[in-house]
Structure 1
């Protein structure tokens, strides 16, 4: 049966190896094949730069509610303006 490895555990194992630990000992202690370790290390090194990219966060519900109210007000004002223009003609 294959084991599922948690992302945090993978990162910890890879970092241990990168900090100079013996890869063979590390793999033996975690019951991990060295080939798997090297795949994880390669993936880690290819993607570690993503940690430093600016994080985009989703707006929370209160921010969305405020924006929604502003837009509703604007639509209402524009509708009134349009109706006033039509009635003047």
Structure 2
């Protein structure tokens, strides 16, 4: 498949469309010229880390999370 750069918004829209399930995943991926494995690589982090969107906390907590992630790397 042709390599292309996807925006975060595009990835989210495709993953949400797949999760809604109105179109078979194979058809969805073919329409967007995307492999199913790539779809799952986008979907899994969303499912595993989506709750962070709803975490409360001010800038201090966000900064602390970033520092922890940098230490991990």
Normalised by the length of structure 1, the TM-score is 0.59
Distance 1:11 1:44 in 2: 8
Cα offset, 1:57, TM superposition: 4.2
Q: Note the residue ranges of structure 2 that are not aligned, 5 or more in a row.
A: 61-73
Distance 1:16 1:29 in 2: 12
Matches within 5 A, 1:50-65: 50-57=52-59
Matches within 5 A, 1:1-89: 2-20=3-21, 21-57=23-59
Deviation beyond 2 Å, 4+ runs, structure 1: 55-58
Equivalenced residues, count: 58
Normalised by the length of structure 2, the TM-score is 0.70
Higher Rg of the two aligned structures: 1
- Which residue in 2 is equivalent to 1:64? none
Q: Which has the higher contact order (CA 8 A, sep 6+)?
A: 2
Cα offset, 1:47, TM superposition: 1.3
Distance 1:53 1:9 in 2: 23
Q: Note the residue ranges of structure 1 that are not aligned, 5 or more in a row.
A: 59-89
